[in-house]
Structure 1
Amino acid sequence: MVSDPGNETHGDLATPIWSALGARQAHLGEGDALVRRYQPDVAPFAAVAEELPAAFDALHALMQPGDVAAVLSREPLAVPSRLRSVALGAVHQMVAETRVDNTSFGADFLELGDDDVTEMIALTQLTRPGPFVRRTNAMGRYIGLRDDGKLIAMAGERMRVPGYTEVSAVCVHPEWRGKGLAAMLINVVRADIERRGEIPFLHVFGENLSAIALYERLGFQRSRIFMLNQITRAGAQAGVPLHGN
């Protein structure tokens, strides 16, 4: 059983993948009443209505050989024999409880779009902030910083739950760390979310203590803990393993 730090808040975030794909990001997903998942070239995240064999059978039917599904749960999953589930670790959900002061963000940032995807993928593969594939940028706004034309840092929006938007893909090239770039980009993304009347949240592996400390300094508080499970078809070689925070 995965324990939670104190009393849970923000009940709408208890099922973020299911909620996002049932409303604001339904156009980016596929599934039915039993299972929902993002289109594979958008994100690997999936969710079941209930942790029952019929729902996992529906997930199996959606998956192609080599597909990876990332499923959040409160305990390690027990899946039918046609699937293989590996618990990757505890993931902390953190929510911004205070609004950011957006009067001075520092360095100039750039809007990132489809023309930047190759560089965005390269930066995430180097820094491993979490899954980022060809159409992940369709999930929301992404911004970045360049030095001499090279993308050195970025951050953006991922899951969109009614009333909430997730801050994600926060990454800085190793040569540029320690300069406050991650905090600046987080605050830019966060301020934009708050201007829309929404609440920012994020997910981070519990073992990533430095990231958790940064998020807490920026006003994010731990809300609940999930287990992140990597699901593949039994006997199939996963195409893109999950990684990151």
Structure 2
Amino acid sequence: MSAGTETETGTETGTDLGAPARAATSPHVLDNAAWASLAGAHSGFAEHPCGTPPGTSRAARYDPDVSPFAALADPADPRSWADLALLVGPGRTAALSGLLTPPEGWETVGSVAGVQLVGTSLRAEPAPEAVRLGPADVPAMLALTGLAKPGPFLRRTVELGTYLGIRHRGRLIAMAGERLHPPGWTEISAVCTHPGYRGRGLATRLVRAVAAGIRERGEIPFLHTSAANTGAVRLYESIGFTVRHRPFFMAVRAPVGTPAEHP
């Protein structure tokens, strides 16, 4: 699914009261957070359809070593789907969020109901025991996420933002970090704890610590979880997150055949 946040139970894990008001008809940036990230702060990780003139692409995806997700500039615009078909190739799949029904010719091959939460009253504070994680820590991070399964974490995911970890006797036992980065917001993701160390509040301390860095930049933290994980939703609400939106995370397959050239 789209988010990689996890509670201490080993399962993936808000409208901010301080966020600017918006018109009811105006889409919120968090409704299409992946596109806002790829078109902005994460443009350096973005792949666009081959031959698309600079600045005109209506679809993009992350470098496959960074994240498996793709995004559409406007899911209601056929041009966005045409560009996505050019980008992924005939019969290939893409991971998207926020969609219910893809257009004719596209096939939904997987769908998970999600919950988007915003840190409306989250207490953000440093965790003295937490250490900054970087490329040298990737093998340990991959081992931990492979065991705890918080969601997609790849060998270059660490490049998306700040990742913090807690070690015990040299072993990485908990981590959390930053993923999507739409303007004014940062997603907390890959929150996970080794099964042998759960129930000690490590995940909560790391979430607060990552949020502290986000708040220092003047941004607002948010995260995602599976809608089926009601325990995770309750936990995050208990520490100051508020449910904002209930998106779907989907894997879709492009139509088989040669997509039309970009106009």
TM-score normalised by length of structure 2? 0.78
Secondary structure at 1:146 match in 2 = strand
Residue 119 of structure 2 is aligned with which of 90, 93, 96?
A: 96
Secondary structure at 1:108 match in 2 = coil
1:60 is the counterpart of 2:60? no
Distance in structure 2 (CA, Å) of the matches to 1:77 and 1:65? 15
Q: Are 1:74 and 1:225, in contact at CA under 8 Å, matched by a contact in 2?
A: no
Q: CA deviation at 1:151?
A: 1.0
The residue that corresponds to 2:98 in the other structure is 73
Name which of structure 1's ranges 22-31 and 134-143 shifts more when overlaid on structure 2. 22-31
Q: CA deviation at 1:33?
A: 2.3
Q: CA deviation at 1:53?
A: 4.8
Q: Are 2:74 and 2:80, in contact at CA under 8 Å, matched by a contact in 1?
A: yes
Q: CA deviation at 1:178?
A: 0.6
Q: CA deviation at 1:91?
A: 1.1
Name which of structure 1's ranges 173-182 and 92-101 shifts more when overlaid on structure 2. 92-101
Distance in structure 2 (CA, Å) of the matches to 1:227 and 1:71? 8
1:193 is the counterpart of 2:226? no
Name which of structure 1's ranges 205-214 and 52-61 shifts more when overlaid on structure 2. 52-61
Distance in structure 1 (CA, Å) of the matches to 2:78 and 2:100? 16
Distance in structure 1 (CA, Å) of the matches to 2:215 and 2:121? 10
The residue that corresponds to 1:176 in the other structure is 197
Residue 71 of structure 2 is aligned with which of 40, 47, 55?
A: 47
Q: Which amino acid aligns with 1:203?
A: H
Residue 41 of structure 2 is aligned with which of 24, 27, 32?
A: 24
Q: CA deviation at 1:89?
A: 1.5
TM-score normalised by length of structure 1? 0.83
Q: CA deviation at 1:123?
A: 1.1
Distance in structure 2 (CA, Å) of the matches to 1:118 and 1:29? 24
Alignment of 1:1-245 (within 5 A): 11-31=28-48, 32-51=56-75, 52-63=77-88, 68-78=93-103, 80-81=105-106, 84-102=107-125, 105=127, 108-232=129-253
Q: Which amino acid aligns with 2:208?
A: N
Q: CA deviation at 1:74?
A: 3.9
Q: Which structure shows the bigger proportion of residues in strand conformation? A: 1
The residue that corresponds to 2:22 in the other structure is none
Q: CA deviation at 1:62?
A: 2.1
Percent identical among aligned pairs is: 39
Aligned length: 224
Q: CA deviation at 1:215?
A: 0.9
Distance in structure 1 (CA, Å) of the matches to 2:104 and 2:171? 43
Distance in structure 1 (CA, Å) of the matches to 2:243 and 2:205? 20
Q: Are 1:78 and 1:85, in contact at CA under 8 Å, matched by a contact in 2?
A: no
Q: CA deviation at 1:45?
A: 1.3
Structural RMSD (CA): 2.2
Distance in structure 2 (CA, Å) of the matches to 1:58 and 1:76? 17
Distance in structure 1 (CA, Å) of the matches to 2:30 and 2:86? 27
CA gap of 1:161–1:80, structure 2 versus 1, over 3 A, is same
CA gap of 1:47–1:179, structure 2 versus 1, over 3 A, is same
Q: Are 1:144 and 1:151, in contact at CA under 8 Å, matched by a contact in 2?
A: yes
Q: CA deviation at 1:28?
A: 1.1
